Amino acid sequence: MSNSDKPLLSKGMMAVIVAQFFSAFGDNALLFATLAVMKSLVYPEWSQPVLQMMFVATYILLAPFVGQLADSFSKGRVMMFANALKLLGALVICFGFDPFLGYSLVGIGAAAYSPAKYGILGELTGGETLVKANGLMESSTIAAILLGSVAGGFLADWNLTAALAACVLAYALAVAANVLIPKLAVARGGQSWHPARMSASFFRACGILWRDGETRFSLVGTSMFWGAGVTLRFLLVLWVPVALGISDNKTPTLLNAMVAIGIVFGAIAAAKLVTLKTVGRCMPAGVLIGVAVLFFSLQQQALNAYVLLVIIGMLGGFFVVPLNALLQMRGKESVGTGNAVAVQNLGENTAMLLMLGLYTLAIKFGAPPVATGVGFGALFALAIAVLWGWQLAQKRKVTTQL
């Protein structure tokens, strides 16, 4: 049976989705629990973003190696190994060792996990069901982010040990779900494990993907989206007191949750309305994300803000899911899905660091949060419009050559 003939909700696919839910649940609950641990130990406030930066840095530093890891072994087993690393990191924090050490182990596990979790979708499904599989993956992830964040914050307020124990349990359940994934054939075995050769191989894969018009389009689009997403999360913290006059910690968290809820519905819509042959349909949604952020930044009523953030999330899900599927399919045909997702992770995390750096500079030099949001939305809409025009020009060029 070919991949395109396999049912979407096979036993293997359900095991992947369940493992992804518990793994992402643990990631988000552990972040809030670890921050609470650092607060209880009176760590300086500046150390909190450093914790997140170390997590992101693992993706960038390990990018040359994790794609080959995913393609050189059965991806279900790679996922199990990665979740076991996360479990070890959570245990390190739970038993009172250095939280930076524990969270770095979780970051290493997450970096190894990502290419395998997306790469396995193209091995369990194929053809047009791949977009639907990506929709399931994104929906599972967002549900885990919502529930994990709430559970982590709530349990940390109640009992720190219980919060950390819940994270350990979540990762253990993820490992157990990984055991149920069938052992699939190795995608690209026999590659060299010498670090210099692996790095050279990774950067060759980067070159191949960036030279291909369709994968370059996908890499730029997804990197811009996730870079913008993490910047919006930090922008909300400063925007809420100025625009809405609300100074609590709960409101920015709830507003972020509205984006996540919207992404679920956007991912479902993309699975129904977009195929690999019609990926261009997602581009108007990308432009509208920037327009919606611009209008959101000007709001002064909480209800309007909540509604607009749900819309931003829906547009985001509709935009990013087809681009992920396109990269996985084209990457599988050229450099291997694991390598393709590793290259994508490098782009996305680099974009996060760059956009957060620009945002930090804007705030440091006194830019008001509302004006920053308006400028950010306008620039994002313009950038996606340019990307869309570039993609159309590339298609016309190919058509003319034929």
Same domain? For 154 and 224 the reply is no
Same domain? For 373 and 265 the reply is yes
Which residue did the predictor score with more confidence, 377 or 55?
Answer: 377
**If you average pLDDT over residues 150-159, what whole number do you get?**
77
Q: Give a yes or no: residue 292 inside a domain.
A: yes
Same domain? For 84 and 146 the reply is yes
Q: Structurally, how many domains does the chain consist of?
A: 2
Q: Give a yes or no: residue 185 inside a domain.
A: no
**If you average pLDDT over residues 140-153, what whole number do you get?**
78
Same domain? For 140 and 285 the reply is no
Same domain? For 370 and 286 the reply is yes
CA dihedral (303, 309, 314, 317) in degrees, to 10, reads: -160
Q: Give a yes or no: residue 198 inside a domain.
A: no
Tokens of 272: 């129904």
pLDDT of residue 42: 67
Whole-model pTM?
Answer: 0.70
pLDDT of residue 171: 94
Which residue did the predictor score with more confidence, 394 or 338?
Answer: 394
Same domain? For 171 and 236 the reply is no
Same domain? For 290 and 378 the reply is yes
**If you average pLDDT over residues 228-252, what whole number do you get?**
76
Q: Which of the listed ranges 184-188, 269-273, 291-295, 335-339 does the model predict with the highest average pLDDT? A: 291-295
**If you average pLDDT over residues 201-209, what whole number do you get?**
82
Same domain? For 174 and 249 the reply is no
Which residue did the predictor score with more confidence, 102 or 32?
Answer: 102
Decide if 287 contacts 388 (C-beta within 8 A).
Answer: yes
Q: Give a yes or no: residue 42 inside a domain.
A: yes
pLDDT of residue 398: 61
- pLDDT tens digits, residue range 262-304? 888 888 888 788 776 777 778 888 889 999 999 998 888 888 9
Q: Give a yes or no: residue 253 inside a domain.
A: yes
The pLDDT > 90 percentage for the chain reads 9
Q: Give a yes or no: residue 141 inside a domain.
A: yes
Q: Give a yes or no: residue 193 inside a domain.
A: no
Same domain? For 175 and 221 the reply is no
Same domain? For 224 and 162 the reply is no
pLDDT of residue 99: 86
Between 25-29, 167-171, 359-363, the lowest mean confidence (pLDDT) is in: 359-363
The pLDDT > 70 percentage for the chain reads 86
**Angle, vertex CA 240, rays to CA 235 and CA 242, nearest 5:** 100
CATH number of the domain residue 101 falls in: 1.20.1250.20
3-state secondary structure the chain: CCHHHCCCCCHHHHHHHHHHHHHHHHHHHHHHHHHHHHHHCCCCCCHHHHHHHHHHHHHHHHHHHHHHHHHHCCHHHHHHHHHHHHHHHHHHHHCCCCHHHHHHHHHHHHHHHHHHHHHCHHHHCCCCHHHHHHHHHHHHHHHHHHHHHHHHHHHHHHCHHHHHHHHHHHHHHHHHHHHCCCCCCCCCCCCCCCHHHHHHHHHHHHHHHHHCHHHHHHHHHHHHHHHHHHHHHHHHHHHHHHHCCCCCCHHHHHHHHHHHHHHHHHHHHHHHHCCHHHHHHHHHHHHHHHHHHHHHHCCCCHHHHHHHHHHHHHHHHHHHHHHHHHHHHHHHHHCCHHHHHHHHHHHHHHHHHHHHHHHHHHHHCCCCHHHHHHHHHHHHHHHHHHHHHHHHHHHHHHHHHC
Same domain? For 258 and 395 the reply is yes
pLDDT of residue 187: 53
Give the pLDDT band of residue 87 (cuts 50, 70, 90).
Answer: very high
pLDDT of residue 1: 47
Q: Give a yes or no: residue 384 inside a domain.
A: yes
Decide if 103 contacts 54 (C-beta within 8 A).
Answer: yes
Is the pLDDT at 169 greater than 90? The verdict is: yes
Q: State which of 162, 179, 196 marks the end of a domain.
A: 179
Same domain? For 250 and 286 the reply is yes
Is the pLDDT at 207 greater than 80? The verdict is: yes
Give the range of the structural domain holding residue 323, as residue numbers without chain letter.
Answer: 205-402
